[in-house]
Amino acid sequence: MSTVLKYFTVYILSGLKFILGPAFGAAYDLPLIAIILLTAFGMMTTIYLFTFFGYDIRRFASRFRRNSKVFTGRNRKFVSIWRRYGLIGVCLLTPLLLSPPVGGLLTSLLETNKQKLIKWMWISALGWSVILSTMMKYAFWLIKYFV
């Protein structure tokens, strides 16, 4: 597999499910700084898409759904998470428990201040990217050299 494809894979997977970026980056034996940056930028690409085009994406998707209810169990769960943790809590939970698309959709639906949303998502993405990438890189290093 070419190096460019490895970098692209880490970037794309981080935007879909955050934990996959550091895992694949460590498995591909990429440099730690590259894994950290690709993971953070991958997540933030998804967040930017949902923040600035979330309304258009929802409007496009609603064309394919029949009888969409406003008060579904999923919507109620989103609102309860938002009420419990707020913007900062949801931003910090997005990489670990929620995926970037779900966290991006939830925050774009419920937060009107886009600058505040983007700021906290960047803090979360960079913080978790450093923590998870470092853990994965050294876990794979230990497995590679001692097993």
Tokens representing 76 are 């109620």
The pLDDT of 35-39, averaged and rounded, is 96
Whole-structure pTM value: 0.83
Assign 6 a pLDDT band (cuts: 50, 70, 90): very high
Residues 100, 16 contacting (CB under 8 angstroms): yes
| Residue 30 backbone class (left: φ over 0; alpha: ψ -120 to 50; beta: rest) | beta
Rg (CA), the chain: 17
- The answer to whether residue 68 scores a pLDDT higher than 90 is no
Q: Helices 100-110 and 73-93 meet at what angle, rounded to 10?
A: 100
Assign 127 a pLDDT band (cuts: 50, 70, 90): very high
Percent of the chain with pLDDT over 90: 46
